[in-house]
Structure 1
């Protein structure tokens, strides 16, 4: 799976807003804190607003804030707002997807990928991310990845 630059920047922007705990932040201040251009960030924030994950206030005291508490917004919410469905297989419903032999079991693989993405992205909230307190199973998967990578690339 490829995590797009837009999703990465959106998650980071949402983490900054979560840390602000309801305070209003300008796109410029969010962008400076994360090294993202303001123009690019405005496009991302527009998508997040359309998905009702952020709200805006206009005027000299205006800015952006989360539309609901950070513990009720998951990383999956942000991914879907920016890139659409998780693990989309050429716009087909996985339940209806079938292949001829010898690839007939491939839809089950796609289902497993989507399920594993959901298992991580739907359980990590912005509050978890900002508190650096990931769910235990997510932290365990990350640790396993670290060990596997170290074993494949020693030194």
Structure 2
């Protein structure tokens, strides 16, 4: 699977906003209301922290906004914040927001492709691939990554020495 720069930037953007949310949650416990603690993050701050070109970030934020993953406000007090808790935003949600379906074959969904003859069973391979992508990407949230507490199955997968081998 190819992870595009746009997907990488989108995930990192949401992680930066989630980090601000986590920092602001501590102030809520200190007597500040939830409304006052709403984390608004400026695009410039995200671009600087994650070294994302500002024009690219602007495009990514637009796609995240259209996918209802972030909310924005204009003006001097403006910025971006998560549209829902980071624990409810999966990596799959982010990929779908900026690139479309997790797996496609020549632009079609795997269940829609048909092959003749010897390639007949290839469709099931593509569907199995999509199932495995979903198994990871739909079960890892922005919050998991922001807290550096990945699900156990991800840790197990990455502990396999073969996971780190180039092929």
- What TM-score does the superposition give when structure 2 sets the normalisation length? 0.85
Q: Find runs of 4+ consecutive structure 1 residues off by over 4 angstroms.
A: 149-153
Q: For the structure 1 residues 50 and 149, does the alpha-carbon distance in structure 2 shift closer, same or farther, using more than 3 Å as the test?
A: closer
Aligned residues, how many? 151
Q: For the structure 1 residues 151 and 86, does the alpha-carbon distance in structure 2 shift closer, same or farther, using more than 3 Å as the test?
A: closer
Unpaired runs of 5+ in structure 2? Answer: 22-37
Q: For the structure 1 residues 150 and 37, does the alpha-carbon distance in structure 2 shift closer, same or farther, using more than 3 Å as the test?
A: closer
SS class of match (2:149): coil
Aligned partner (choices 37, 54, 57) of residue 38 of structure 1: 54
SS class of match (1:124): coil
Return the alpha-carbon distance in structure 2 between the equivalents of residues 59 and 151 of structure 1. 48
Return the alpha-carbon distance in structure 1 between the equivalents of residues 166 and 100 of structure 2. 33
- After superposition, residues 117-132 of structure 1 pair within 5 angstroms as 117-132=133-148
Return the alpha-carbon distance in structure 2 between the equivalents of residues 7 and 151 of structure 1. 23
SS class of match (2:60): helix
- What TM-score does the superposition give when structure 1 sets the normalisation length? 0.92
- After superposition, residues 134-153 of structure 1 pair within 5 angstroms as 134-144=150-160, 147-148=161-162
CA-atom RMSD in angstroms? 1.6
